[in-house]
A = this chain, B = another copy of it.
């Protein structure tokens, strides 16, 4: 089931909370938020684009958040809150209407195991069966879920949450306000070997793994530690599920990596870079600030700042799209070309 609904709001209160204006009945009561086609008579819904205007016609919602331009869109639901950005308004309302995840208790669960010299701020929560290694430190406001394994000398900044079943290898440095979903592994050995004496000899990985502040990492994603230096994820970067970041990679601030992305060793990713789903980036490259790489692309060259690249091997997206279009037309062109060439005896 969805998160529990915690309260109800009069539409006038909704408008006040989001800085909007009521059109219709300000006393109508909403208890949850839903999309136009699924909303019931106690739901607030939202209309931010005329593309979805038709859905308002039949929506059963109690009220609708709507832009000034769309306030007169026809629809059964006559109670409206006019607001510049309905989607952002909805996000602001969610924590008012639904129960947000909160720490179940303060302190350390009796089944948690805490190593020698570890320091755990009293205003933090360590759930059942979690292991905190010797010398580790957990700052104020943290919520360390169940079944985590936190290695020796790990530091976790204030207000960070590990949802559960997360592994932080020894020495990992986690900033404040991070959120790691279940199954995240941070600081695993990088994939480095030298072939000698008939075998792949392992390169010991003594580098660190630094996750700066406000980083989210999705379920079952993996971030390797550096070989002799650090793997770094910059502040405010958000990483989706099943993403791989290899050793020595340095990721800037405010990046977005969608699910299935893989980044090979020692690559530098700038600030504000967006990697769409299943993108792969080769090792020892530089991806400039604010670059965008489109889905499933394979990047084998440096990408300049601000550019959108795609395809395999990745090129500026415009060129790649022209290539796709050309390939689409190719079979017919080949037919015509062969006919032509057949008439040219020596071509």
Point out residues on A near B: beta carbons under 8 Å. Answer: 1-4, 33-35, 38, 87-88, 90-91, 94-95, 98, 100-101, 111, 113, 128-129, 131, 145-147, 149, 153, 155, 163-165, 167, 169-171, 173, 179, 181-183, 185, 188-189, 191, 193-194, 196, 198-204, 206-208, 214, 216, 218-220, 222, 224, 226, 228-230, 236, 238, 240-242, 244, 246, 254, 256, 258-260, 262, 264, 277-278, 280, 282, 295-296, 298, 300, 311-313, 315, 319, 322-331, 333-334, 336-337, 339-341, 344, 347
Contacts and interface: CB of A to CB of B under 8 A. Distances in A.
B313 A322 contact: no
A312 B296 contact: yes
A121 to B, nearest CB: 19
Contact of A91 (B169, B203, B218): B203
Contact of A113 (B111, B179, B324, B329): B111
Given A179-B202, A326-B331, A340-B340, 11 more contacts: A2-B207, A33-B206, A94-B204, A165-B165, A183-B185, A185-B241, A240-B246, A278-B280, A311-B312, A322-B331, A326-B327
Given A91-B201, A188-B182, A262 B264 contact: no
Contacts of A163: 167, 169, 188
A260 B259 contact: no
Contacts of A188: 163, 181-182, 218-219, 241
**Which of A171, A206, A328 gathers the greatest number of chain B CB atoms within 10 Å?**
A206
Contacts of A173: 1
B146 A146 contact: no
A296 B280 contact: yes
A91 B193 CA distance: 10
A231 to B, nearest CB: 11
**Which of A165, A226, A230, A241 gathers the greatest number of chain B CB atoms within 10 Å?**
A241
B145 A147 contact: no
A240 to B, nearest CB: 4
B170 A181 contact: no
A322 B165 CA distance: 47
Contacts of A91: 194, 201, 203-204
25 contacts: A2-B171, A2-B208, A2-B226, A2-B228, A113-B128, A149-B164, A163-B167, A163-B169, A183-B185, A185-B241, A189-B218, A199-B214, A200-B238, A200-B254, A224-B241, A242-B242, A260-B280, A280-B296, A282-B295, A311-B312, A313-B324, A323-B331, A336-B341, A340-B340, A340-B341
A195 to B, nearest CB: 8
A109 B182 CA distance: 23
Nearest to A248: B35
